Structure 1
């Protein structure tokens, strides 16, 4: 297997891990997913959340009406990027770009950028956000 094939293989595995982890934790509210797909030290770069898995353990059970709808996914090396519509994280739907860093098949770091979801008709250029 060439280096390029190994990198593609790793990116594909990491993408599958992130999609499974997010579905199990947030859609199914299976807190044990943290033990399977995340690892400490978990470094959180979101300004609304502290580092460490205890933060997710505390937040997830209280999310009402949460849904995560990834529309675009890309991966490179140990990073997976998702561009999603999310309901239930904020009072109104939001668009989130999440960046996950994996180490040995486990999510160990996270960044996000969050914007209110605006209809295409309400944007200056008429283009949809996702």
Structure 2
């Protein structure tokens, strides 16, 4: 299987599991020396998993919108709806894959505005 397709499948599987509430999936898909680039989020697999288990992601409804993959990176665009936030948040995660595991992560989050402000939609 081409590397880009394997990378895509890794992130799609991870997303599906996280959307079901399985945060522990990160223990099997992150490198032990995982590097996190988001402010306030810890690096290192175990520290990151513990952090995410308490973060809004763990209790949110997640809807995958698109996945873009190449030989080294995967970009996942999704709608995250935390409890009590009906519009939710548009999220883009960028992951660098090394030896079949997620080695690095960056993200960008944007609150979903009122539909009148986005006539073409957020997704």
Task: Judge same fold: TM > 0.5, yes or no.
Answer: yes
Q: Secondary structure of the residue that 1:110 maps to in structure 2? A: strand
Q: After the TM superposition, which segments of 4 or more aligned residues of structure 1 sit over 4 Å from their partners?
A: none
State whether structure 2 residue 17 is matched by structure 1 residue 16: no
After TM superposition, give the deviation of residue 37 of structure 1 in Å.
1.1
Matches within 5 A, 1:107-118: 107-118=102-113
Contact 1:29/1:60 (8 A) holds in 2:
no
Contact 2:7/2:70 (8 A) holds in 1:
no
After TM superposition, give the deviation of residue 108 of structure 1 in Å.
0.8
> Which runs of 5 or more structure 2 residues have no equivalent in the other structure?
none
Matches within 5 A, 1:44-59: 44-59=36-51
After TM superposition, give the deviation of residue 45 of structure 1 in Å.
0.8
Contact 2:4/2:69 (8 A) holds in 1:
yes
Q: What count of residue pairs does the alignment treat as equivalent?
A: 119
When residues 71 and 108 of structure 1 are mapped into structure 2, their CA distance, relative to the original with a 3 A threshold, is same
Partner Cα distance (1:13, 1:35) in 2:
18
After TM superposition, give the deviation of residue 27 of structure 1 in Å.
2.4
Matches within 5 A, 1:1-130: 9-31=2-24, 33-62=25-54, 63=56, 65-88=59-82, 92=85, 93-123=88-118, 126-130=119-123
Question: Bigger radius of gyration, 1 or 2?
Answer: 1
Partner Cα distance (2:41, 2:30) in 1:
16
Partner Cα distance (2:27, 2:36) in 1:
17
- Calculate the TM-score normalised by the size of structure 2: 0.82
- Calculate the TM-score normalised by the size of structure 1: 0.78
